[in-house]
């Protein structure tokens, strides 16, 4: 595209204002391990001499205007409401994004999340090129949309992707495969990208000492559909079996954290099942360093994104236990023990195999090393993918 670009970027729920303040000082956001997408966006705008309007649905309402940027936290209404209110909130958010893009005189709208896709259909009619950036699968893997409302929304979204988008950025092969189903053979430029990290974030991390305890690490939202109660069930099993040499550390916050704390106390496993809450980047590095294995037990009820924890585990040199629910599996198979989705016993058995078989553990650790370069390769980053897309519009 020629001339001075004006780009609206509708991000996810992240603190894009906090990231901006760190970016202005030449630093990465310390609350995130990966290089943030919003940080990459600010850098790309500076490189291109573009003006940017960034909107996230971070729940902390705030607005910053500092040329060439306008940055706003705009929560989604009814984001967790019952069905009808949820869909109303998605439509309302899409309408507001459309109005904001028109008022901003955007040339391009790069949209990650927050609205039903078809609610943005007016943008191309107003001369705004729409580039969805897809970070999650479009429906549960292996479970096509069910229910009349979901099927209607999916049908309308498919029409939108076929007729209203200038191109698409995709975080995983699983996402691209589902998108292809919606495109129904229509040609559309799809550019893949990966989460990208600074090599210094993981330099110096080693293999923990082999003597007990063997530490299993989980990082992410503390919610049932992220599998945290399955981890507690595994810990109970190990206690019953006398495997007191295996311990669990969980980092993250979420709506199920109070319930999980109570369940841990009731199960009397608190000494070996530790809940750390949210931790900043330096503490997260220390947790990865101490871990022997990282477990990602997301259930099939959850619409999973790439799950950057898998990439971070590999960069830390720690074998991963997960299932096909996690799209990141495609990129790091030699570093992973794959188990059937929702199979709690299989997750436990995988941990035991890694604990009991040093040669097998070492083979998976070598798989980590082989998979690491792709996550340091800036040519595969979101910012590079967006730059390539803009050059072709």
- Report DSSP state, residue 120: G
Angle between helices 37-48 and 16-24 (to 10 degrees): 50
**Residues 40, 137: one domain?**
yes
Strand order across the beta sheet in which 6-10 lies: 62-66, 69-73, 51-56, 6-10, 108-111, 129-134, 168-170, 190-192
- Report yes or no on 1 lying in a domain: no
**Residues 32, 148: one domain?**
yes
- Report yes or no on 273 lying in a domain: yes
Phi, psi angle pair for 248, to nearest 5°: -120, 140
**Residues 83, 224: one domain?**
no
- Report yes or no on 68 lying in a domain: yes
Rounded Cα gap, residues 75 and 73, in angstroms:
6
pLDDT in tens, the chain (393 residues): 555 899 999 999 999 999 999 999 999 998 899 999 999 999 999 999 999 999 999 999 999 999 999 999 999 887 776 778 989 999 999 999 999 999 999 999 999 988 899 999 999 999 999 999 999 999 988 888 888 999 999 999 999 999 999 999 999 999 999 999 999 999 999 999 999 999 999 988 877 766 679 999 999 999 999 999 999 999 999 999 999 999 999 999 999 999 999 999 999 999 999 999 999 888 999 999 999 999 999 999 898 889 999 999 999 999 999 999 999 999 999 999 999 999 999 999 999 999 999 999 999 999 999 999 999 999 999 999 999 999 999
**Residues 125, 158: one domain?**
yes
Instruction: Give the domain CATH number at 174.
Output: 3.40.50.2000
Structurally, the chain folds into a number of domains equal to 2
Name the β-bridge partners of 216.
248, 293
**Residues 326, 187: one domain?**
no
**pTM for the predicted model, two decimal places:** 0.92
Domain containing 308: what range?
A: 199-375
């Amino acid at each position: 595209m020629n001339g001075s670009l004006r780009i609206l970027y509708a991000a996810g729920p992240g603190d894009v204002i906090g990231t901006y303040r760190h970016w202005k000082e030449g630093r990465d956001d310390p609350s995130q391990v990966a290089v943030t997408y919003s940080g990459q966006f600010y850098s790309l705008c500076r490189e291109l001499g573009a003006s940017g309007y960034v909107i996230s649905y971070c729940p902390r309402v705030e607005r910053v205007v500092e040329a060439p940027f306008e940055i706003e936290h705009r929560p989604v209404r009814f984001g967790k409401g019952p069905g009808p209110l949820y869909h109303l909130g998605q439509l309302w958010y899409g309408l507001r994004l459309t109005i904001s893009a028109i008022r901003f005189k955007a040339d391009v709208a790069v949209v990650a999340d927050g609205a039903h896709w078809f609610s943005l259909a007016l943008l191309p009619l107003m001369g705004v090129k729409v580039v969805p950036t897809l970070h999650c699968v479009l429906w549960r893997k292996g479970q096509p949309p069910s229910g009349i409302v979901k099927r209607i929304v999916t049908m309308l979204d498919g029409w939108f992707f076929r007729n209203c988008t200038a191109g698409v950025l995709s975080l995983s092969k699983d996402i691209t495969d589902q998108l292809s189903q919606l495109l129904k053979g229509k040609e559309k430029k799809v550019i893949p990208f990966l989460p990208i990290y600074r090599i210094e974030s993981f330099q110096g991390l080693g293999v923990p000492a082999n003597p007990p305890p063997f530490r299993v690490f989980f990082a992410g939202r503390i919610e049932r559909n992220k599998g945290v109660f399955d981890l507690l069930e595994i810990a109970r099993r190990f206690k019953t079996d006398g495997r007191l040499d295996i311990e669990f550390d969980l980092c993250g916050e979420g709506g199920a954290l109070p319930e999980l704390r109570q369940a841990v106390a009731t199960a009397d496993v608190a000494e070996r099942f530790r809940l750390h809450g949210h931790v900043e980047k330096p503490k997260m590095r220390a947790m990865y360093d101490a871990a022997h294995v990282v477990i990602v037990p997301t259930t099939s009820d959850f619409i999973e994104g790439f799950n950057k924890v898998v990439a971070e585990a590999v960069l830390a040199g720690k074998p991963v236990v997960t299932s096909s629910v996690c799209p990141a599996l495609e990129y790091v198979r030699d570093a992973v023990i794959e188990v059937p989705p929702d199979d709690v016993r299989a997750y436990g058995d995988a941990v035991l195999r890694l604990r009991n078989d040093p040669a097998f553990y070492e083979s998976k650790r070598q798989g980590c090393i082989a998979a690491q370069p792709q996550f340091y390769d800036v040519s595969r980053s979101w910012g590079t993918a967006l730059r390539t897309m803009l050059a072709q519009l």
